[in-house]
Amino acid sequence: MAKYRKILVAIDLSEEAKQVLATAVDLREVHNAELLVVHIVEPVSTAYGGVYMMELDKSQDELNTAAKERLTTYANEFNVEANQQIVAVGHPDAEIHRLAEEHNIDLIVIGSHGRRGLQRFILGSTANSVMQSATCDVLAVRVK
Protein backbone atom coordinates (compact mmCIF):
# COMPACT_ATOMS: atom_id res chain seq x y z
CA MET A 1 0.00 0.00 0.00
CA ALA A 2 1.25 3.46 -0.86
CA LYS A 3 2.25 5.83 1.92
CA TYR A 4 -0.05 8.83 1.86
CA ARG A 5 1.17 12.05 3.49
CA LYS A 6 -1.70 14.38 2.52
CA ILE A 7 -5.27 13.28 2.02
CA LEU A 8 -8.06 15.46 0.65
CA VAL A 9 -11.61 14.34 1.38
CA ALA A 10 -14.37 16.07 -0.59
CA ILE A 11 -17.81 15.85 1.00
CA ASP A 12 -21.25 17.06 -0.02
CA LEU A 13 -22.59 17.73 3.52
CA SER A 14 -25.35 15.12 3.28
CA GLU A 15 -25.75 12.45 5.97
CA GLU A 16 -23.87 10.12 3.61
CA ALA A 17 -20.84 12.41 3.88
CA LYS A 18 -20.14 10.98 7.33
CA GLN A 19 -19.36 7.61 5.71
CA VAL A 20 -16.84 9.22 3.38
CA LEU A 21 -15.30 11.33 6.13
CA ALA A 22 -15.01 8.32 8.47
CA THR A 23 -13.10 6.40 5.78
CA ALA A 24 -10.73 9.33 5.24
CA VAL A 25 -10.16 9.70 8.99
CA ASP A 26 -9.29 5.98 9.21
CA LEU A 27 -6.79 6.42 6.39
CA ARG A 28 -5.35 9.49 8.11
CA GLU A 29 -4.66 7.39 11.19
CA VAL A 30 -3.21 4.43 9.29
CA HIS A 31 -0.83 6.64 7.31
CA ASN A 32 -0.27 9.29 9.98
CA ALA A 33 -1.27 11.75 7.25
CA GLU A 34 -2.51 15.31 7.13
CA LEU A 35 -6.23 15.47 6.28
CA LEU A 36 -7.90 18.32 4.42
CA VAL A 37 -11.73 18.31 4.38
CA VAL A 38 -13.38 20.28 1.59
CA HIS A 39 -16.85 21.13 0.41
CA ILE A 40 -17.48 22.85 -2.89
CA VAL A 41 -20.44 25.21 -3.21
CA GLU A 42 -21.56 25.60 -6.80
CA PRO A 43 -21.87 29.22 -7.92
CA VAL A 44 -25.43 30.50 -7.78
CA SER A 45 -24.88 32.49 -10.97
CA THR A 46 -24.25 29.23 -12.84
CA ALA A 47 -27.59 27.89 -11.76
CA TYR A 48 -29.51 31.04 -12.67
CA GLY A 49 -27.64 32.38 -15.66
CA GLY A 50 -26.37 35.59 -14.08
CA VAL A 51 -29.69 37.46 -13.66
CA TYR A 52 -30.41 39.63 -10.61
CA MET A 53 -26.73 39.76 -9.60
CA MET A 54 -27.21 41.68 -6.32
CA GLU A 55 -29.68 39.12 -4.97
CA LEU A 56 -27.55 36.27 -6.24
CA ASP A 57 -24.46 37.64 -4.48
CA LYS A 58 -26.42 37.73 -1.21
CA SER A 59 -27.69 34.20 -1.83
CA GLN A 60 -24.14 33.00 -2.59
CA ASP A 61 -22.88 34.51 0.66
CA GLU A 62 -25.68 32.82 2.59
CA LEU A 63 -24.92 29.46 0.95
CA ASN A 64 -21.21 29.83 1.71
CA THR A 65 -21.89 30.69 5.37
CA ALA A 66 -24.28 27.77 5.79
CA ALA A 67 -21.79 25.40 4.14
CA LYS A 68 -18.97 26.57 6.44
CA GLU A 69 -21.15 26.02 9.51
CA ARG A 70 -22.20 22.55 8.41
CA LEU A 71 -18.67 21.57 7.39
CA THR A 72 -17.41 22.68 10.80
CA THR A 73 -20.02 20.53 12.52
CA TYR A 74 -19.00 17.45 10.52
CA ALA A 75 -15.27 18.12 10.87
CA ASN A 76 -15.51 18.67 14.62
CA GLU A 77 -17.29 15.34 15.00
CA PHE A 78 -14.23 13.68 13.42
CA ASN A 79 -11.59 15.84 15.19
CA VAL A 80 -10.50 17.74 12.10
CA GLU A 81 -8.89 21.08 12.97
CA ALA A 82 -10.39 24.33 11.67
CA ASN A 83 -7.29 25.07 9.56
CA GLN A 84 -7.87 21.77 7.71
CA GLN A 85 -11.40 22.73 6.58
CA ILE A 86 -12.09 24.48 3.28
CA VAL A 87 -15.27 25.70 1.62
CA ALA A 88 -14.64 26.77 -1.97
CA VAL A 89 -16.97 28.10 -4.66
CA GLY A 90 -16.83 26.62 -8.13
CA HIS A 91 -17.47 23.48 -10.10
CA PRO A 92 -16.77 20.52 -7.80
CA ASP A 93 -14.47 18.49 -10.05
CA ALA A 94 -12.39 21.51 -11.07
CA GLU A 95 -12.09 22.81 -7.50
CA ILE A 96 -11.12 19.38 -6.16
CA HIS A 97 -8.35 19.17 -8.77
CA ARG A 98 -7.20 22.71 -8.01
CA LEU A 99 -7.06 22.09 -4.27
CA ALA A 100 -5.29 18.75 -4.75
CA GLU A 101 -2.56 20.45 -6.77
CA GLU A 102 -2.33 23.49 -4.51
CA HIS A 103 -1.90 21.34 -1.39
CA ASN A 104 0.27 18.56 -2.93
CA ILE A 105 -2.35 15.91 -2.16
CA ASP A 106 -1.37 12.22 -2.42
CA LEU A 107 -4.90 10.79 -2.14
CA ILE A 108 -8.37 12.15 -2.85
CA VAL A 109 -11.28 10.48 -1.05
CA ILE A 110 -14.73 11.13 -2.51
CA GLY A 111 -18.18 9.60 -2.21
CA SER A 112 -19.87 7.81 -5.08
CA HIS A 113 -23.50 6.82 -5.43
CA GLY A 114 -22.62 4.21 -8.04
CA ARG A 115 -24.95 5.52 -10.71
CA ARG A 116 -24.70 3.67 -13.98
CA GLY A 117 -25.87 3.90 -17.54
CA LEU A 118 -28.30 6.62 -18.55
CA GLN A 119 -28.68 7.89 -14.99
CA ARG A 120 -24.92 8.67 -14.81
CA PHE A 121 -25.00 10.26 -18.26
CA ILE A 122 -27.90 12.55 -17.39
CA LEU A 123 -26.85 13.42 -13.83
CA GLY A 124 -23.11 13.44 -14.33
CA SER A 125 -20.65 12.13 -11.82
CA THR A 126 -18.24 14.28 -9.87
CA ALA A 127 -16.49 11.17 -8.57
CA ASN A 128 -16.01 9.85 -12.10
CA SER A 129 -14.69 13.17 -13.35
CA VAL A 130 -12.25 13.42 -10.44
CA MET A 131 -11.03 9.86 -11.02
CA GLN A 132 -10.50 10.44 -14.73
CA SER A 133 -8.39 13.58 -14.36
CA ALA A 134 -6.62 13.30 -10.99
CA THR A 135 -2.84 13.27 -10.89
CA CYS A 136 -2.87 11.35 -7.59
CA ASP A 137 -4.68 8.28 -6.26
CA VAL A 138 -8.45 8.52 -5.79
CA LEU A 139 -10.59 6.41 -3.49
CA ALA A 140 -14.30 6.41 -4.32
CA VAL A 141 -16.30 5.39 -1.26
CA ARG A 142 -19.62 3.80 -2.16
CA VAL A 143 -22.28 5.60 -0.14
CA LYS A 144 -25.52 3.95 0.80
**Stretch 61-66: mean pLDDT:** 87
Residues of the chain with pLDDT > 90, as a percent, come to 58
Q: What local confidence, expressed as pLDDT, does residue 38 receive?
A: 97
Alpha helices in 32-140 (DSSP H): 44-48, 53-77, 92-102, 117-123, 126-133
Residue 117 clears pLDDT 60, i.e. is over it: no
Q: What local confidence, expressed as pLDDT, does residue 126 receive?
A: 82
* pLDDT tens for each residue of 29-50: 999 999 999 999 988 765 555 5
CA distances from 122 to 115, 118, 141, 144 (A): 10, 6, 21, 20
Q: Give the containing element (helix H, strand E) for 27.
A: helix 17-31
120 against 77, higher pLDDT = 77
Residue 119 clears pLDDT 50, i.e. is over it: no
Q: Give the containing element (helix H, strand E) for 23.
A: helix 17-31
Which range, of 26-35, 80-89, 118-127, averages the lowest pLDDT? 118-127
Domains in the chain, ordered, with CATH? 6-142 (3.40.50.620)
Give the predicted TM-score (pTM) of the model: 0.82
Mean of all residue pLDDT scores within the chain: 85
83 against 144, higher pLDDT = 83
Task: Report residue 57's pLDDT band, with 50, 70 and 90 as the boundaries.
Answer: low
Residue 102 clears pLDDT 70, i.e. is over it: yes
Q: Is 61 exposed, middle or buried (0-12, 13-18, 19+ CB in 10 A)?
A: exposed
Q: What local confidence, expressed as pLDDT, does residue 18 receive?
A: 94
